[in-house]
Copies of this chain bind each other. A is one copy, B any other.
């Protein structure tokens, strides 16, 4: 189940994020300003700007899949500056997620997950997904959305949630 609640949904959310950034691009063209203004904006002076929010969302998805499966993650130097750069970073992350299947996550629930800043402490894979990776991914995507919404970009919750697999 850890695969089901991460990889396909992370992929969907990153796809939605890309479409939201497309709306930002259209908005900046309509209003005749450089889209970089939005990319460098933030909601408070001591908060990460939009580019960094997108980078962290991508890292959250990438590292979650990597840590749970034990597979190496691609290295990113976070040098993205333009809209094309961050869209390509998102696409690269989606491409990485597509290399996984449920089989890669066998035993992941009880796996010990750690990272340098946890100073030797660990979470189980299940705790890490539920209490860390998921809330973090949504935090950084929602914050990106909030920065754009605050600037007048016409995005709505439907853009954030994406298509629902409704059945009749």
Check: A122 CB closer than 8 A to any chain B CB: yes
Check: A127 CB closer than 8 A to any chain B CB: yes
- A123 CB contact (under 8 Å) in B122, B157, B167: B167
**CB pair B134 A166 closer than 8 Å:** no
Interface string of A101-126 (1 = CB under 8 A from B): 00000000000000000101111101
Number of copies: 2
Check: A143 CB closer than 8 A to any chain B CB: yes
Check: A149 CB closer than 8 A to any chain B CB: yes
Check: A13 CB closer than 8 A to any chain B CB: yes
Distance, CA A47 to CA B118, complexed state (A): 37
**CB pair A44 B132 closer than 8 Å:** no
Q: How large is the interface on A (under 10, 10 to 19, 20 to 34, 35 or more residues)?
A: 35 or more
CB closest chain-B residue, reference A12: B131
| With contact pairs A9-B130, A9-B131, A143-B142 given, residues A136 and B161 touching in the complex (Cβ less than 8 Å) | yes
Contacts of A136 in B (CB 8 A): 157, 161
Distance, CA A161 to CA B118, complexed state (A): 15
Distance, CA A1 to CA B126, complexed state (A): 10
Q: Which of A47, A121, A122, A146 gathers most chain B CB within 10 Å?
A: A146
**CB pair A135 B160 closer than 8 Å:** yes
Check: A43 CB closer than 8 A to any chain B CB: yes
Distance, CA A168 to CA B139, complexed state (A): 27
CB closest chain-B residue, reference A118: B166
**CB pair B4 A131 closer than 8 Å:** no
Check: A164 CB closer than 8 A to any chain B CB: yes
